Homo-oligomer: A and B are copies of this chain.
Amino acid sequence: MGCPGQYGYIGKVSSQRTRGVGAAHDERQHQIVDAVLALIGEQGLDGISLRDVATKAGVSLGRVQHYFRTKDQMLRAAFERVNDLGAALVGQRLADAGDSSPRTVIRAIATELLPIDDLHRHALQVGMAFTARALVADDFAARLKAGYGELHNLLVLLLTTARDAGDTRPDLDIDHEARLLLSLIDGLSTHTLIGHHTPDTALAVVDTCLDRVFTS
């Protein structure tokens, strides 16, 4: 889970080179999904047609249909991909952080979940499109919930570490605190996307909140 480039929607596990050209299978699938994500960022999740995707990817409609038997499968693959991409970004941040303080790590994660540049803005925009769809598609909601669950567990781990090190009040309700942080970051992200405040302000608000959690 969370390994980029591995989506199981075709039944096999990864690049297999069984028959035919086979070799560049994943790469071409990848290219189509990227076109889908780009279009979602431009026009939203709906209003996307298979023909638009084909044009954007620079391939024929037939090819798109070859890799995704239905439109639903295609969108599902795009959803998986944006989830994997997000997980990869956060994972990279975690790896880079090394043994920094919990507060530093949490702030780094927050930075990764805010639209601080065009790349993040686009990814979050796509994420919000899928979130809106999750409200009427239960399986999408389940996947999203799992993702938030992972982030929640990560925050719980970090906060526990901090508390044990004496960097927070000893009676800190860690579960509530993790929910608060994650919800706050998500809300700030949405409001920043809308333009209600700037990325800088959003980060400052995160810092304000962290000031109140950490004692050191």
- Identify the A interface with B (CB < 8 A): 42-47, 125, 128-129, 131-136, 141, 144-145, 148-149, 152, 173, 176-177, 179-180, 182-188, 190-191, 193-197, 201-202, 204-205, 208-209, 212
Contacts and interface: CB of A to CB of B under 8 A. Distances in A.
B196 A180 contact: no
20 contacts: A44-B133, A45-B46, A125-B135, A128-B135, A131-B132, A131-B190, A135-B193, A141-B194, A141-B195, A144-B196, A148-B196, A152-B196, A179-B191, A179-B197, A180-B205, A180-B209, A182-B187, A184-B184, A186-B187, A187-B188
B131 A128 contact: yes
A177 B43 CA distance: 34
A129 B125 contact: no
Contacts of A176: 201, 204-205, 208
